[in-house]
Amino acid sequence: MATATPFEEVYPAPGPVNQVEQAYPPASSLPTLKPGELPEPPTEVLKPDEGKSALNGIVYSYTIHAVIPGTVFYLTRAVGENNDQVPLALLGSQESRGDIAGSTNENGFIQLNNIEPGNYYMVVWAPLNWAIVETEAQNQTPLLITLEPNESLNLGIVYVSWP
């Protein structure tokens, strides 16, 4: 009498075929804009504690012409002699490096308060990869964010190739 191997006990996966949960909203359900049409950037800014900084903005994908709701992002400190270079590896938010994590709301807005002043890059989770925020659509130049003490910075629209 043959016995089932562990592989045979779990394969095929149980449940109906094609019943896979979406990790992100499908592109068809995102609030889309016409090519060339941009969302209204936020105007309200947060007031940071003394000596700290705040920022806000909206994350916009120039590849699908839509804001990106409900995705995670993080600020990572710039590196290099002048603290203006992108870190060599973008592996997700690492608190030990001083990274600051957040997520976009249902309208793609971001808000962070009481951030240590300094130079940062913003990295957004795109399906299966991290994407760095760019200075403008399809420019592919990473956006260096410089935060000064007691500053509330409105980034306006930040661009990312997503997905």
d(CA 85, CA 43) in angstroms, rounded, equals: 29
More confident residue, 60 or 21: 60
pLDDT of residue 17: 45
pLDDT of residue 163: 85
pLDDT of residue 35: 66
pLDDT of residue 31: 59
73 found inside a domain: yes
Token pair in block for residue 62: 């120039």
10 found inside a domain: no
Contacts of 114 (CB under 8 A, 6+ apart): 48, 49, 52, 53, 54
8 Å CB contact between 126 and 161? yes
90 found inside a domain: yes
Which residues form the domain of 109?
Answer: 46-160
Q: What does DSSP say about strands 151-160 and 53-61: parallel, antiparallel, or unpaired?
A: parallel
User: Is the per-residue pLDDT at 21 higher than 60?
Assistant: no
> What total of structural domains would you count in the chain?
1
Task: Provide the CATH number for the domain around residue 82.
Answer: 2.60.40.10
80 found inside a domain: yes
Cβ count within 10 A of residue 141: 9
State pLDDT tens for residues 49-77: 999 999 999 999 998 888 999 999 999 99
User: Is the per-residue pLDDT at 47 higher than 80?
Assistant: yes
Short-list 163, 110, 120, CA closest to 144: 120
pLDDT of residue 28: 54
Q: How confident is the model at residue 43 (pLDDT cuts 50, 70, 90)?
A: confident
25 found inside a domain: no
8 Å CB contact between 100 and 115? yes
Q: Across residues 42-52, what is the average pLDDT?
A: 91
- Strand residues in 16-150 grouped as ranges (E): 53-61, 66-67, 72-77, 100-103, 109-115, 118-126, 129-132, 145-147
82 found inside a domain: yes
State pLDDT tens for residues 96-153: 989 999 999 988 999 999 999 999 999 999 988 999 999 998 888 999 999 999 999 9
